[in-house]
Amino acid sequence: MTDKFEPTIIGFTCNWCSYRAADLAGTARIKYPPNVRLVRLMCSGRLDPTFVFKALSSGADGVIITGCHPGECHYLEQNYKALRRFQLMRRTLVGLGLEPGRVKLVWASAAEGARFASEINIFVEEIRALGPLHWGIPSDLLPVPNEPLEEVPA
């Protein structure tokens, strides 16, 4: 047991680039913190902002969205759509009082396993610095905070 705050982070990955980057990080045995729960989408363009709102309202402390680099989308242009949605969504979330740093968009190609892991490391530390969010949930209904997460040996 440590007193360190362990954030809960939801990560959205695209099937063709960033999910493969995560996979590559795994096969290359690159460690990154277990705080992030990855959800695979076919494309970052599939990311409905509802998913992010749902994650934040259900107890996530941060959300990271990942996709192919601009110009490299498997579906040609959908990552640009994701970029525009992200920018408008972040403005809206700031209007609702959220710290802008709790949502992040990162591009990662299928070859960038090491970079993917390092981006996750950075984001976890950023969210740890921001502290718990626990959006609107009465504190007595929350699970015991700081339940230590088990590190899976590589």
Q: Site residues (CB under 8 A) for another protein? A: 48-50, 52-54, 56-57, 70, 80-81, 83-85, 87-89, 91-92, 94-98, 134-136, 138-139
CB of 51 closer than 8 Å to CB of 103 = no
- Which is closer to another protein, CB of 83 or CB of 114? 83
What are the backbone angles phi and psi of residue 98, rounded to the nearest 5°? -80, 145
- Which is closer to another protein, CB of 14 or CB of 56? 56
Q: For residues 11 and 65, what is the distance between their CA atoms, to the nearest angstrom?
A: 6
CB 14, min distance to another protein, A: 17
CB 142, min distance to another protein, A: 10
**3-state SS assignment for residue 43:** coil
CB 94, min distance to another protein, A: 8
- Which is closer to another protein, CB of 138 or CB of 148? 138
Token duo for residue 97: 């009082």
Q: For residues 24 and 111, what is the distance between their CA atoms, to the nearest angstrom?
A: 7
CB 68, min distance to another protein, A: 14
Token duo for residue 121: 């490391």
